[in-house]
Amino acid sequence: MKCLVVTGGCGFIGSNFIRDQLARYPEQSIINIDKLTYAGNPENLKDVDSNPKYRLQKLDICDHEMIQALLNATKPDAVVNFAAESHVDRSILDSGPFIQTNVVGTQVLLDACRQANVSRFVQVSTDEVYGSLGAEGFFTEETPLAPNSPYSASKTAADVLVRAYCHTFGFPGIITRCSNNYGPYQFPEKIIPLFISRALDDKPLPVYGKGENVRDWIQVLDHCRGIDAALRQGRPGEVYNFGGHQEIRNIDLTRLLLELLGKPQTLIEYVNDRPGHDLRYAIDCSKAERELGWKPQVAFRAGIRETIDWYKGNAAWVNRIKTGDYLKYYEQQYGDRHRKTGAN
């Protein structure tokens, strides 16, 4: 593969994916399309910004004319779509941006990729499209889609669009769905970085309801390696699930974080539950293991320790996120380099 386009590459998972791709495939060029909204932080990739094989292009995936022009000019071998509004609480307050980016943006990418004859498209989705599980069972690729939040509904719509393009046009699309990610560069509105940050400042950790909701956690690099396997080995038209084989209740996750941080359990604060809060997510990823030869490698407790160490060692990054100064900081440090045009 000579050229790969990644959308939303300045976000948490996308930035980890790009860094891993550049390390594993040094001959491959990567064009990162990102709108640079609140969670799209160019600083996440400052360590590769000078790499001649990497280019950041500030664009909105809903801008069909600009997206089409870029794909026609660069002729990428594949597109991996991470670009999405992704926070459930924000979607409950205002679903509009989620419909626009997650649904309309995906439709724009699909049409542009068809016109540019892109030979591979990976839609990065979420296990939340499956809805909620009871105390037993696992989500498989055959589980009916039953989203329960505006966020998951928008991701479901995008997935169904990809499926329809595969069926109608023979489009070379692949869908990946993953359980909850954790690791470096995660925007601190999500539970693990939020609780690490608040605990370090000796602030209360707000746990929804009684904290009995269960999530399956996967270290972000394990997920990125799964996406890479689907990109290079997956079958067009197929769905692949990725999970970490690590289920834990939110309250037990909170207690573990406090334990590893050496902070008192009295920092736990129970708050009113989120509307429509799904009880349990758990992934059956045997299809990915069987067809792609992929398995999660990072043990949960060790991965959480490494994540805590990363946030402790990157306090300046966290503080810039808290104050909203990260885009200003990037402009001061790197000028107009994220507006580069032309192919690498």
One pLDDT digit (tens) per residue for the chain, 344 residues? 999 999 999 999 999 999 999 999 999 999 999 999 877 889 999 999 999 999 999 999 999 999 999 999 999 999 999 999 988 888 999 999 999 999 999 999 999 999 999 999 999 999 999 999 988 999 999 999 999 999 999 999 999 999 999 999 999 999 999 999 999 999 888 899 999 999 999 999 999 999 999 999 999 999 999 999 999 999 999 999 999 999 999 999 999 999 999 999 999 999 999 888 889 999 999 999 999 999 999 999 999 999 999 999 999 888 888 776 555 554 555 444 444 333 33
Helices and strands, counts by H and E, the chain: 13, 12
Q: Which residue has the tokens 């289920």?
A: 247
In this prediction, residue 320 carries a pLDDT of 83
- The residues, ordered by sequence, that sit 6+ positions from 137 with a Cβ below 8 Å of its Cβ are 282
In this prediction, residue 331 carries a pLDDT of 52
Structural domain includes residue 319: no
**Angle in degrees, CA 280, 284, 110, rounded to 5:** 95
Catalytic residue, candidates 43, 60, 127, 247: 127
Catalytic residue, candidates 54, 151, 182, 281: 151
- The residues, ordered by sequence, that sit 6+ positions from 11 with a Cβ below 8 Å of its Cβ are 34, 39, 40, 41, 44, 82, 83, 86, 187
Structural domain includes residue 69: yes
Q: What helix, strand, coil percent values describe the chain, rounded to 5?
A: 45, 15, 35
In this prediction, residue 334 carries a pLDDT of 47
Structural domain includes residue 126: yes
Structural domain includes residue 110: yes
CATH code, domain carrying 146: 3.40.50.720
Structural domain includes residue 108: yes
Structural domain includes residue 196: no
- Residue 238 a catalytic site member: no
pTM over 0.85: yes
What residues make up the domain containing 229? 3-182+220-244+278-296+326-339
Structural domain includes residue 188: no
Burial of 170 (0-12, 13-18, 19+ CB in 10 A): exposed
- Residue 151 a catalytic site member: yes
Count the domains in the chain: 1
- Residue 85 a catalytic site member: no
Q: Is 36 left (phi over 0), alpha (psi -120 to 50) or beta?
A: left
Q: How do strand 214-219 and strand 180-182 relate by DSSP bridges?
A: parallel
Convert 236-249 to b/e letters by CB count within 10 Å (16 or more is b). Answer: ebebbbbbbbbbbb
Structural domain includes residue 344: no
**Angle in degrees, CA 37, 198, 150, rounded to 5:** 45
Q: Helix, strand or coil for residue 243?
A: coil
Convert 187-220 to b/e letters by CB count within 10 Å (16 or more is b). Answer: bbebbbbbbbbbbeeeeebebbeebebbbbbbbb
Catalytic residue, candidates 34, 43, 60, 128: 128
Q: Helix, strand or coil for residue 52?
A: coil
In this prediction, residue 225 carries a pLDDT of 98
